[in-house]
Amino acid sequence: MQTTRRTLLKTAAALAVPLRLARAANPPSPVIIKLGNYMSEAAARALPDEVIEKTKHHILDTLAAMVSGTELPPGKVAQAMAKAHTGEKTATVVGTNILCGPIEAAMVNGMLAHSDETDDSHAPSQSHPGCSIVPATLAASEQFGTDGIRMMRAVALGYDIGTRITMTLGALDYQMSSHHSSHSIAGDFGSAAAAGCVAGLNPQQMRWILDYASQQAAGIAAWQRDTDHIEKSLVFAGWPARNGVSAALLIQIGGTGVDDIMAGSDNFLLAF
């Protein structure tokens, strides 16, 4: 039989089907199922009094950092971006009269929060959790009209998940050896978890949001050479916050993903 482009493509497609089915057939591990359940239940799970108090402190600290950031170069660039691309007017840029869409607000408020380095930090995970998690939660909360209690629980979940990801990777040692930015990765997962909590995602959808966070995980330590601090505010905060809100919005309206991104072929832990 003569080999043509059509027959070659048919043969390749036939060979690829068993491989795709084999990869898709891997069931989620008990660990990721437990984690998805834990994340999904966070919105209804009461926090201990001391955690509530600490979460309030982190939210207020980040809001204060956003306000001071409005007068600094990264914050001014971010505000100019919001003014130039307002689009949907549902979410607030802190410290201003600007309204924009939730995705844009998350990014802009993230940049504001990390403009002057007064945002919080967490040494064991080599991260600055608040500057991305709080903006992502605020933007998602305005989009979905959530109340303050749910918003606070979402922030706490974001801190819980984001910091544990980079602690698992190795925190500072990981950043030094891999050249990846642990700050960006922690913020990416933390913001996704928080926004997913606000959006009311179910356990499977929470596993998918971890998948989306894995696909969006980025950032290299070259931010240390950014003398204007604008790129750094994006790497640490603006982009992770934007990514988390984007993932939550997409999954909430029907987006799907891989059921267990932490195990199986080509998983997050193998890639990072």
What integer best gives the mean pLDDT of the chain?
Answer: 92
More confident residue, 35 or 4: 35
Query: What integer pLDDT is reported at residue 118 of this predicted model?
Result: 92
Asked if residue 142 lies in contact with residue 95, where contact means CB atoms within 8 angstroms, the answer is no
Amino acid identity of 100?
A: C
Distance CA 235, CA 143 (A): 24
Distance CA 259, CA 63 (A): 35
Give me the mean pLDDT over the 32-60 stretch: 97
Instruction: Check pLDDT > 80 for residue 181.
Output: yes
Q: Helices in the chain by DSSP H: which ranges?
A: 5-24, 30-40, 49-69, 73-84, 102-113, 130-144, 148-169, 171-178, 182-199, 203-216, 230-233, 239-252, 268-271
Query: What integer pLDDT is reported at residue 205 of this predicted model?
Result: 98
Query: What integer pLDDT is reported at residue 74 of this predicted model?
Result: 94
Q: How confident is the model at residue 87 (pLDDT cuts 50, 70, 90)?
A: confident
Instruction: Check pLDDT > 80 for residue 3.
Output: no
More confident residue, 224 or 189: 189
**What DSSP line would sit under 35-71, residue for residue?**
HHHHHHGGGGSPPPHHHHHHHHHHHHHHHHHHHHHTT
Asked if residue 191 lies in contact with residue 138, where contact means CB atoms within 8 angstroms, the answer is no
Asked if residue 132 lies in contact with residue 191, where contact means CB atoms within 8 angstroms, the answer is yes
152 C-beta neighbours (distance < 10 Å), count: 19
Query: What integer pLDDT is reported at residue 16 of this predicted model?
Result: 52
Q: Which residues contact 181 (CB under 8 A, 6 or more apart)?
A: 175, 218, 219, 220, 221, 223, 235, 236
Query: What integer pLDDT is reported at residue 7 of this predicted model?
Result: 56
Q: Which residues contact 254 (CB under 8 A, 6 or more apart)?
A: none
Give me the mean pLDDT over the 51-60 stretch: 97
Distance CA 160, CA 168 (A): 12
Instruction: Check pLDDT > 60 for residue 9.
Output: no
Instruction: Check pLDDT > 70 for residue 139.
Output: yes
Give me the mean pLDDT over the 165-193 stretch: 95
Query: What integer pLDDT is reported at residue 58 of this predicted model?
Result: 97
Instruction: Check pLDDT > 80 for residue 164.
Output: yes
3-state DSSP assignment of residue 99: strand
b/e 207-217 (16+ beta carbons within 10 angstroms → b): bbbbbbbbbbb
Instruction: Check pLDDT > 60 for residue 160.
Output: yes
Asked if residue 271 lies in contact with residue 184, where contact means CB atoms within 8 angstroms, the answer is no
Distance CA 139, CA 130 (A): 14
Half-sphere exposure for 264 (CA within 13 Å, toward CB): 18
Give me the mean pLDDT over the 118-130 stretch: 95
92 C-beta neighbours (distance < 10 Å), count: 17
Instruction: Check pLDDT > 90 for residue 10.
Output: no
